[in-house]
Amino acid sequence: MTTTTRSPSAAVRSYTESVRAHLSDLPPEVIDELAGGLEVDLEDALADRNRTADTPLEAFGSPVAYAAELRDAAGLPPAPSATAGSQPAGSHPANSPGIAQQRASFLAGIRSTATALADGFRQLLGSLRTSRFVARVSPLVGDLCPVWWVARGWFLGALIASWLGGSPGTSLIPWRPGDLTVMLVTIVISVQWGRGRWKPWRWITGVIVVASVIALVAAPTVINGTTWANAWGMRTAHEPVETVPRDGLFVDGTQVSNLFVYDGEGQPVPNAQIFDARGVPVTLSVEGSEASGTWGDNPMVGGQGDDGNVLQPSVSVEGTAAWNVFPLPTFRFDVLKESPDGELVPTTGALPLPTAWPFPNVPRFESR
Amino acid sequence: MDTTQLLKGVLDAAVLAVVNHEDGYGYDVVRRLRQAGLENVADASVYGTLRRLFAAGALTNYVVPSDEGPHRKYYGITDHGKEILATQREEWHQFAATLTHVLTHEGASS
């Protein structure tokens, strides 16, 4: 072997400098790790070829390709495109050069901050990776990464959606179609970032770090804001429901379907007519005294629809129907027919079912 | 067949195996891989791989002063690297056996 390792030749030095230049976007210690002893290695490699006439270029190909190969094998991202960010300020005409320059330098400032942040993050990751514990745990962490990507997009989407929608709170659940769209978009972006895609500029990594921190910090708030009551509240705020009190009488939260009146002697009172203080007939129907036989929400349907019995209005001696006369008579459904105006009425001659009084009689009372 | 592409998938295992046999500096690893028959291995691929395995905690490195020239950075394998090597060795044997079977079977049937 020849005296190869004494000092690198000028050709090798220039070649390695060129390679380093194509790694210059990486943190210095990474460049050092990648190309630290490159001169010596290249000299050795050239010497081994026993063709001293070979230039580094002939032996190893272009420095660009060499640097790309180093990056690729080291698992580092490819070099950012040579044109991005290297355009000198003012190289294109602008109406107001001062503002354009200010804007350019502002953007450059943001970009360099983001880049510095990204570098710091990479450094941190690099130092973490060398830890034995992390090396053991990292496969698990790697498997869980997709979950984090989705969660990050979800949280960010919830934040942006609430900001765009002007909502007072945030919700994990996208109630409005717009929220859903925003959240789907942020989730897709977050996952693509996680997969190493959609990073056209190097400083995007800095943005991703910031976005991740925001997502993490916001997570408790977003989750807290998503109790079901809140979520429901947000929904009803946008889709107001009927809040006008309904007609009828409620006991224990259940609408009363019939009333049974007993007199002072504790004896049942048939056909008891009930009015309120204003003289308005007290009825139990949803639709008032004009209650139709509507099945759906009509509490007039006796036995909760189980036995098919239907409450009907009492009928006065003059033949007028009244819903404030209790107990209301109950008819079997099959003796009812639909009247021309769509109401259920008993067929001619049909008799109501015997009144089912809750008690045969009750304690006596005397007037004071 | 383009053995360069094939090599990419198993270069980690090859580099770990070489360093496991004996610590070495960058070009030394390249040289030993070539001597072992992997003549097409690219220098830069090996250096990049060494760096990545080091960053992953599979390799350690230390500098050895040299009387003749610049200091050399040597790589040695860590316990974690040995575990990775054992896994990859096993996976390779299984894969190689499977592919051999597939190729033999295909060859016989056609």
CB A312 within 8 A of CB A331: yes
Q: Strands, DSSP E only, in chain B?
A: 24-25, 59-64, 72-77
Nearest chain B Cα distance for residue A139, angstroms: 11
Percent of chain A with pLDDT over 90: 2
Determine which of B5, B38, B40, B43 to mutate to test the interface with A (most A C-beta atoms within 10 Å). Answer: B43
Nearest CA in chain A to B67: A6
The whole-number pLDDT of residue A293 equals: 40
Tell me which chain A residues have a C-beta less than 8 angstroms from the C-beta of B4: none
Which class is B3-109 in CATH? mainly alpha
Burial zone of A279 (CB within 10 Å; 0-12 exposed, 13-18 middle, 19+ buried)? exposed
pLDDT at A188: 92
- Mean pLDDT across A298-305: 43
Domain locations in chain A as residue ranges: 1-81, 113-238, 250-346
Instruction: Identify all chain B residues contacting A134, using CB atoms and an 8 Å cutoff.
Output: 57
ipTM value, please give it: 0.81
Distance CA A239, CA A125 (A): 47
Would you state the structure tokens that stand for residue A85, as one six-digit string? Answer: 């960010």
C-alpha closest to that of B19 among B40, B44, B36: B36
Please answer whether residues A41 and B24 qualify as being in contact, where contact means their C-beta atoms are separated by less than 8 angstroms. no
Is residue A22 within 8 A of residue A30, CB to CB? The reply is no
Distance CA B92, CA B81 (A): 16
CB under 8 Å to A57, separation ≥6 — which residues? A15, A63
Q: Which amino acid is at B59?
A: L
Residue A248 burial (C-beta neighbours within 10 Å; 0-12, 13-18, 19+): middle
| pLDDT, greater one: A303 or A71 | A71
| Backbone dihedral angles phi then psi of residue A151, each to the nearest 5 degrees | -60, -45
**A132/B78 CB distance under 8 A:** yes
A131–B80 CB contact, under 8 Å: no
Is 70 exceeded by the pLDDT of residue A324?
yes
| Chain B touched by A135 (CB under 8 Å) | yes
- pLDDT for residue A78: 83
**Which residue carries 């502002």 as its tokens?**
A106
Among the partner residues A48, A126, A135, nearest to B80 by beta-carbon distance: A135
| Residue B50 Cα, gap to closest chain A Cα (Å) | 7
A165 vs A66, which has greater pLDDT? A66
Q: What is the pLDDT along chain B (110 residues), one digit of tens a residue?
A: 677 778 877 899 999 999 999 999 989 999 999 999 988 888 899 999 999 999 899 999 888 887 766 778 899 999 999 999 999 999 999 999 999 999 888 656 55
Which of A36, A73, A129 comes nearest B73 by C-beta? A36
Residue type (1 letter), A319: G
A118 vs A205: which has the higher pLDDT? A205
A102-110 long-range CB contacts below 8 Å, 24 or more apart? A110/A203
Distance in angstroms (rounded) separating the CA atoms of residues A46 and A107: 45
- Cα(A353)–Cα(A346) distance, rounded to whole angstroms? 12
In chain B, residues with a C-beta closer than 8 Å to the C-beta of A60 are 43-44
| Gap between the Cα atoms of A121 and A127, Å rounded | 10
Structure tokens at A294: 């509507």
Question: In this structure, are residues A59 and A45 in contact, taking their beta carbons and an 8 Å threshold?
Answer: yes
Structural domain boundaries in chain B: 3-109
| Encoded tokens for A332 | 């079997």
Q: Which residue has the higher pLDDT, A124 or A40?
A: A40
